[in-house]
Amino acid sequence: MVTVSATPDVRRSPNQTFVLYLKEMKYEFLKNLRIPRYSASVIVLPLMFYVLFGLFMGRQTIGNTSTAAYLIATYGTFGVLGASLFGTAASLASERGLGWIQVKKASPMPPFAYFAAKFFMGMMFSFIVVSLLLVLGLAFGGVRMPFQNMVQLVGTLVAGSIPFCAMGLAVGYFMGPNSAPAVINLIYLPMSFGSGLWVPFQFLPKVVKQIALYLPPYHLAQLALRVIGFDGNETNWTHWKVLIGFTLLCLGVARFGFQKDEEKMYG
Amino acid sequence: MSAAQTISIAEQPEVKGAVVASLREVTKRYDDVCALNNVNLSVRSGELLALLGPNGAGKTTAIKLLLGLAKPTSGTSRIFGGDPRDPATRLRIGAMLQVAKVPETLRVREHIDLFSSYYANPLLRKETLARGDIADIQERKFGDLSGGQKQRVLFALALCGDPDIIFLDEPTVGLDVEARRILWHEIRKLVARGKTILLTTHYLQEADELADRVVVINKGNVIAEGTPTEIKARTAGRKIRCITRLTSDAVRGLPSVVDVCQDRGAIEIQTSDAESVVRALLSLDAHLSGLEVTRAGLEDAFIALTQEDNNVAGARR
């Protein structure tokens, strides 16, 4: 008996693939939004710092800008760093370590969709944190700036999420599911301090100032500060170059990790 | 038959009985552990093949090789005549794997929605929910489900894309009897719709109930292959259990006795001719009691086969 069923040449239409990417992103975002440990800490922590140090103790100026405005840029960078790093690294380490990534790999999901969704999720959380900081500053901190600058500030910081999502992937490929959050904190907290995200750069000890020049969050913070009218020493292009270089480096490490995993499973 | 003809059949997986997935002389080593040793395995279109073996036999490794999640140390793994990692091939495959943790904060409905979007011609959501028997829990988050419910959701994810071949790695592990029967029923319906299924299990009854063919593997080797009936026939036909004063050695000396073992004060006798053994036992021991005669199930066949294999392996050493 010979039965001929579906044609062997099955393909997704471009439209179906587009919808697939949207759903992958949507559910990656929802998945993390519903983990209070993640969503609360990466959103609430920067807001809390901002309320304490920016609003209650604010009103003075740092250089030629108000503290309330200055701290939107630096706590915004802090928020972007946390959202991007925790979102990507912790979920990747967990999904690699506990087998879910194998189910995904066995399915017809394009591998690129998986990574695109992680970047999207990091950027979405960054957008939320930065927007909330801005709203707080405008409503309670007496911050005034042209609408165009607000868009530029949010845009800069959300774009600045990309290097740290890349870093999260790089880190996530070399950590176990249980150790991930601890290891990320060991990177995230010192890096934030050293980049002048908690204590303004001007007030950092000299030695930390020199280290800061090598830390990517410092460069993102400088770009954000420039938007609100705080002048730094380097040109914007210098900062972007550092961030782009850092992104490429992290993507290279992540790619190495991806291949290492493939070898392990497929080697 | 010429080689050209063989190839043309292999390239038409829709022909019932053609080989749609295969391992050819596959050996897989993890460091110095040999998970599979020179294994040949063919899954034919429209059949349900059960890969039966104890834990650690190499069942999951075989599935991972067929799915392209692991690479053979030597030999080849083919599916629909091509590389299992080909994206076009994956569109025709569904897989239920053993996974330690599934994202817990997504709802059942959302998991199904996402996996359905990966395929070109997925089932309607309603249909997927019905087949997985999960319509009533579709709004629940995955982390809030019981073990059995989780298994059913993973099963639904494997079939939501309406794939031609479905891999089920230990699908009924952790299910209670009722849930297992429901899943068996759904698996049979998939076969009736013409799907090809490769299922691994260490539940012998499961292989017996569902499979068209059974491949028994132990310690990375294929030790038997055939229909459930053929596998059962590989060992002596029936089993006698009784309490007797006769020694095991005396019983072993009777004609047509294959094996004798002590079991909690009784003895169990494997035999190819139950009637003559019973007649002899009764005439030798007037006090014989608790006599039972049963057909050897697949379980006995399986234990006999794996023990035989272990003994041979031991003797080789």
pLDDT of residue A9: 65
The percent of residues above 90 in pLDDT, for chain A, comes to 70
A23 at the B interface (CB within 8 A)? yes
In whole angstroms, give the CA distance from residue B51 to residue A252. 40
Query: Residue B224: its pLDDT value, please?
Result: 86
Q: Does A12 touch chain B (CB under 8 A)?
A: yes
CA-to-CA distance for A166 and A156, rounded, in angstroms? Answer: 16
**The pLDDT of residue B8:** 39
Kindly state whether A103 is in contact with chain B, defined as any CB-CB distance less than 8 angstroms. Answer: yes
Residues near A148 by Cβ (< 8 Å), separated by ≥ 6? none
Three-class secondary structure of residue A127 per DSSP: helix
Q: How many CB atoms within 10 Å of residue B257?
A: 20
At A31, the pLDDT band (50, 70, 90 cuts) reads very high
Residues A30, B68: C-beta atoms closer than 8 Å: no
Q: Do A99 and B15 touch (CB under 8 A)?
A: no
Q: How far is B100 from chain A (nearest CA, A)?
A: 5
- What's residue A73's pLDDT? 95
pLDDT computed for residue A59 by the predictor: 61
Whether the per-residue pLDDT at B43 is higher than 50: the answer is: yes
Q: Are A174 and A180 in contact (CB under 8 A)?
A: no
pLDDT in tens, B160-191: 999 999 999 999 988 888 889 999 999 999 99
Query: In this complex, is the C-beta atom of A94 within 8 Å of any C-beta atom belonging to chain B?
Result: yes
Tell me if B189 sits within 8 A of B131, measured CB to CB.
yes
Which H or E element spans position B250? helix B248-252
- B121 to A266: CB separation less than 8 angstroms, yes or no: no
List all residues 6 or more positions away from B103 whose beta carbon is below 8 Å from its beta carbon: A31, A95, A100, B111, B142
Contacts of A8 in chain B (CB under 8 A): 13-14, 80, 92
Percent of chain B with pLDDT over 70: 88
Q: What is the pLDDT of residue A132?
A: 97
Question: B83: distance to nearest CA of chain A, Å?
Answer: 13
When the pLDDT of each residue in chain A is averaged and rounded to a whole number, the result is: 90
> Nearest CA to CA, how far is B188 from chain A (Å)?
18
Test mutation, B117, B125, B151, chain A, max A CBs within 10 A: B117
Using a CB–CB cut-off of 8 Å, the residues of B that contact A are 13-16, 46, 64, 67-71, 80, 85, 87-88, 90-93, 95, 97-103, 105-106, 110, 113-115, 117-121, 141, 154, 157, 161, 164, 167, 194
Report in angstroms the alpha-carbon separations of A111 from A21, A258, B16: 11, 11, 32
> What would the mean pLDDT of B143-153 be, rounded to a whole number?
93
* ipTM for the assembly: 0.90
List the single range of A23-27, A96-100, B45-49, B306-310 with lowest mean pLDDT.
B306-310
Which among B108, B118, B123, B162 is the top mutation candidate for probing chain A, defined by the most A β-carbons within 10 Å of its own β-carbon? B118
Distance from CA of A161 to the nearest CA of B (A): 23
Q: Roughly how many angstroms between the first and final C-alpha of chain B, as a whole number?
A: 41
Residue B69 to residue A266, Cβ atoms within 8 A: yes
Q: Which residues contact A198 (CB under 8 A, 6 or more apart)?
A: A49, A74, A78, A192
What pLDDT does residue A88 have?
94
Chain B residues near residue A94 by CB distance under 8 angstroms:
101
Question: Which residues of A fall within a CB distance of 8 Å from B92?
Answer: 8, 10
Contact A4 B15 (CB under 8 A): yes
Residues of B in contact with A107 (CB under 8 A): 90, 95, 115, 118, 157, 161
Average pLDDT over residues B52-58: 85
Contact yes or no for B37/B5 (Cβ under 8 A): no
What mean pLDDT comes out for the span A204-216?
91
Instruction: For chain B, give the mean pLDDT.
Output: 86
**pLDDT of B297 over the 80 cut:** no
Q: Chain A 109-128, CB below 8 Å of chain B: which residues? A: 109-110
| Nearest Cα residue to B231 out of B308, B164, B173, B170 | B308
**Mean pLDDT, rounded, for A65-84:** 93
**pLDDT-based confidence at B271, cuts 50/70/90?**
confident
Across the range B270-297, mean pLDDT stands at 86
- For B2, the token pair is 């010429």
pLDDT at B296: 67
Return the residue of A nearest to B169 by Cα. A103
Contact flag B117-A11 (C-beta cutoff 8 Å):
no
Check if the beta carbon of residue A69 is closer than 8 Å to that of residue A152. no
Find tokens 């460069």 and name the residue. Answer: A219
Confidence of residue B9 (pLDDT cuts 50, 70, 90): very low
Alpha-carbon distance B142 to B261, whole Å? 47
**Highest mean pLDDT, choosing among A99-113, A251-265, B259-273:** A99-113
Q: What pLDDT does B274 receive?
A: 85
pLDDT for the residue numbered B298: 63
Across the interface, which of A3, A34, A110 has its CB nearest the CB of B194? A3
Output the CA torsion sign for B293, B297, B301, B302: negative
User: Measured between CB atoms, does A15 come within 8 Å of chain B?
Assistant: no
pLDDT above 50 (res A157): yes
- B100/A31 CB distance under 8 A: no
The token duo for B181 is 């029967």
The answer, yes or no, to whether residue B301 has pLDDT greater than 80, is: no
Across the range A138-146, mean pLDDT stands at 91
- Judged against a pLDDT cut of 70, whether residue B13 lies above it is answered with no
Any B CB within 8 A of A14 CB: no
Instruction: Give me the pLDDT at residue A4, please.
Output: 39
* pLDDT above 60: residue A33: yes
**What local confidence, expressed as pLDDT, does residue B231 receive?**
77
Whether the pLDDT of residue B41 is over 70: the answer is yes
Residue range B271-276: mean pLDDT, rounded: 83
Read off the pLDDT of residues B206-218 as tens digits, 9 standing for 90 and up. 888 899 999 989 8
Cβ count near B251 (within 10 Å): 21
Confidence of residue A5 (pLDDT cuts 50, 70, 90): very low
Amino acid at A179: S
Least confident range of A99-103, A212-216, B202-206: B202-206
Contacts of A16 in chain B (CB under 8 A): 117, 120
Average pLDDT over residues A83-101: 93
Determine which of A2-6, A83-87, B162-166, B175-179 has the lowest per-residue pLDDT on average: A2-6
- Extract long-range pairs of B232-236: CB within 8 Å, 24+ residues apart: B232/B295, B232/B296, B232/B297, B232/B298, B232/B300, B232/B301, B234/B301, B234/B304, B234/B305, B235/B270, B235/B296, B235/B300, B235/B301, B235/B304, B235/B305, B236/B270, B236/B271, B236/B272, B236/B296
All residues of chain B having their beta carbon less than 8 Å from the beta carbon of residue A111 are none
Q: With an 8 Å Cβ cutoff, are B90 and A94 in contact?
A: no
Q: Give how far A210 is from chain B: nearest CA, Å.
A: 42
Section A226-236 average pLDDT: 85
* Strand, coil or helix: B34: strand
**A6 Cα to chain B: minimum distance (Å):** 8
